[in-house]
């Protein structure tokens, strides 16, 4: 029995010694898996600086772990590459407009930490086709990316409505967009957020393209980490929640320094003035203060990255404003 116990302890020791947090700290930065380029979510700007609401999740984790939101490096991943990159340890976090499903949560060895954007799948068509509804798409040629819930939902929707379609399946976003804009397909389908972002940022004339009114699926998008490392799971999860809680508390990058002196017990806990919450996570007690000071709250991230593209908060408003965004209490 003692021999078996020793063998188990020896087997467990390397895993414990190589926790994600330990690896990240020894490396000196968070390795974040992001989209190859989706405006508003993750895309490098003209200076090569990555920006977007998914990027801000990674920056928040770096601020929590290092007290420095810049200590992140980004790995652009296609839809088909993303899960293997996380499973293999190539990235520490997958923050890439990825839908949380039961298959991915249980069958791929992943843990989704929460939802940072509530979405649904839609269709975009050239205005000149004069299509007003997805029900008019029988026989259409549809551009779609493989390895996505989009591909599965597309087939389900047409089957359920007894319509046919011809898929044009292309892995890389740039190539599938080129195919759509060149007229190789009648329709482009992806998450509604992607349609809004891509029409605004990639179409030569956005007014030439119409996003149809139908939303055919639930697409809760959020960051994921690997199964089996609860400490890292907690850090990423609460880093995202801190941005939501900050918005609810009225804490923002420009006022948190002054608000840290507030007598409000919730704010005192949030900024690390009372309690020992950071230590419970394995980070500094000012972890949440650093996130808001350096990255901002959820509204700041949304307004900076998505609002300029024409996005409305909708379901992504706080629960106090009729939306679905809700962070568990930080206490």
* DSSP labels, 276-288: -HHHHHTS-TTHH
| Confidence at residue 6, expressed as pLDDT on a 0 to 100 scale | 39
- Residue with token string 């920056």: 59
* pLDDT per position as a tens digit, 206-245: 999 999 999 999 999 999 999 999 999 999 999 999 999 9
What lies within 8 Å, CB to CB, of 63 at 6+ separation is 69, 239, 287, 290, 291, 293, 294, 295
How far is Cα 301 from Cα 246, in angstroms, rounded to an integer? Answer: 12
- Cα-based distances in Å from 205 to 124, 181, 209: 14, 10, 8
Q: From 320, 322, 314, select the one nearest 247 (Cα to Cα).
A: 320
- pLDDT-derived band at 1, boundaries 50, 70, 90: very low
Structure tokens at 19: 């926790």
pLDDT tens-digit readout, 122-137: 999 999 999 999 999 9
Q: Read off the tokens for 239.
A: 């880093």
Taking only the tens place, the pLDDT of each residue in 72-117 is 999 999 999 999 999 999 999 999 999 999 999 999 999 999 999 9
Region(s) of the chain under CATH 3.40.190.10 = 20-118+221-321, 121-217
Q: Where are the beta strands (DSSP E) in the chain?
A: 30-35, 43-44, 50-51, 72-77, 93-94, 110-112, 117-119, 121-126, 140-144, 165-169, 187-191, 209-211, 219-221, 224-226
Q: Which of 196, 198, 222, 216 is nearest to 100 (CA)?
A: 222
**64 alpha carbon, distance to own chain's centre:** 18
Tell whether the model's pLDDT for residue 4 goes beyond 60: no
275: helix, strand or coil: coil
What pLDDT does residue 18 have? 72
Superfamily (CATH H level) for 20-118+221-321? Periplasmic binding protein-like II (3.40.190.10)
Domain boundaries 121-217, corresponding CATH code: 3.40.190.10
Q: Helix 298-305 vs helix 230-249: angle between axes, to the nearest 10 degrees?
A: 80
How many Cβ atoms are within 10 Å of 15's Cβ, its own excluded? Answer: 10
Helix/strand/coil for 143: strand
Q: What is the DSSP letter of 69?
A: T
Residue whose token pair is 């060149």: 182
Q: Which among 149, 239, 167, 196 is positioned nearest to 38, based on CA atoms? A: 196
pLDDT tens sequence across 237-266: 999 999 999 999 999 999 999 999 999 999
Per-residue pLDDT of 130-160, as tens digits, reads 999 999 999 999 999 998 999 999 999 999 9
At residue 198, the pLDDT reads 95
HEC secondary structure over 196-256: HHHHHHHCCCHHHEEECCCCCCCEEECCEEECCCHHHHHHHHHHHHHHHHHHHHCCCCCCH
CA distance 2 to 64: 41
Q: Rounded CA gap, 18 and 292, in Å?
A: 29
Question: Using CA atoms, how far apart are residues 174 and 188, in angstroms rounded to an integer?
Answer: 13
Instruction: Report pLDDT for 9.
Output: 37
- The mean pLDDT value for 278-303 works out to 98
């Amino acid at each position: 029995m003692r021999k078996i116990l020793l063998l188990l302890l020896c087997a467990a020791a390397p895993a414990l010694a190589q926790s994600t947090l330990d690896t990240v700290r020894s490396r000196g930065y968070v390795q974040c898996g992001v989209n190859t380029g989706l405006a508003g979510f993750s895309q490098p700007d003209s200076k090569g600086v990555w920006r977007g609401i998914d990027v801000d999740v990674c920056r928040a984790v770096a601020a929590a772990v290092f007290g420095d939101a810049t200590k992140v490096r980004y790995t652009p991943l296609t839809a088909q590459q993303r899960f293997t990159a996380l499973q293999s340890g190539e990235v520490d976090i997958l923050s890439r407009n990825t839908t949380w499903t039961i298959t991915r949560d249980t069958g791929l060895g992943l843990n989704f930490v929460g939802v940072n954007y509530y979405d649904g799948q839609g269709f975009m068509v050239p205005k000149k086709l004069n299509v007003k509804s997805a029900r008019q798409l029988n026989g259409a040629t549809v551009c779609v990316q493989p390895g996505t819930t989009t591909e599965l939902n597309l087939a389900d929707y047409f089957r359920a409505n007894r319509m046919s379609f011809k898929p044009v399946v292309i892995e890389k976003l740039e190539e599938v967009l080129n195919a759509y804009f060149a007229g190789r397909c009648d329709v482009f389908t992806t998450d509604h957020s992607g349609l809004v972002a891509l029409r605004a940022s990639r179409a030569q004339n956005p007014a030439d393209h119409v996003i149809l009114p139908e939303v055919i699926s639930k697409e809760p998008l959020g960051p994921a980490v690997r199964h089996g490392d609860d400490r890292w799971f907690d850090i990423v999860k609460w880093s995202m929640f801190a941005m939501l809680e900050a918005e609810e508390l009225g804490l923002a990058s420009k006022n948190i320094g002054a608000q840290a002196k507030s007598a409000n017990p919730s704010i005192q806990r949030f900024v690390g003035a009372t309690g020992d919450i950071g230590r419970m996570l394995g980070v500094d007690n000012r972890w949440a203060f650093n996130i808001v000071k350096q990255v901002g709250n959820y509204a700041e991230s949304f307004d900076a990255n998505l609002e300029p593209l024409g996005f409305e908060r909708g379901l992504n408003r706080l629960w106090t404003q009729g939306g679905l965004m809700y962070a568990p209490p930080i206490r």
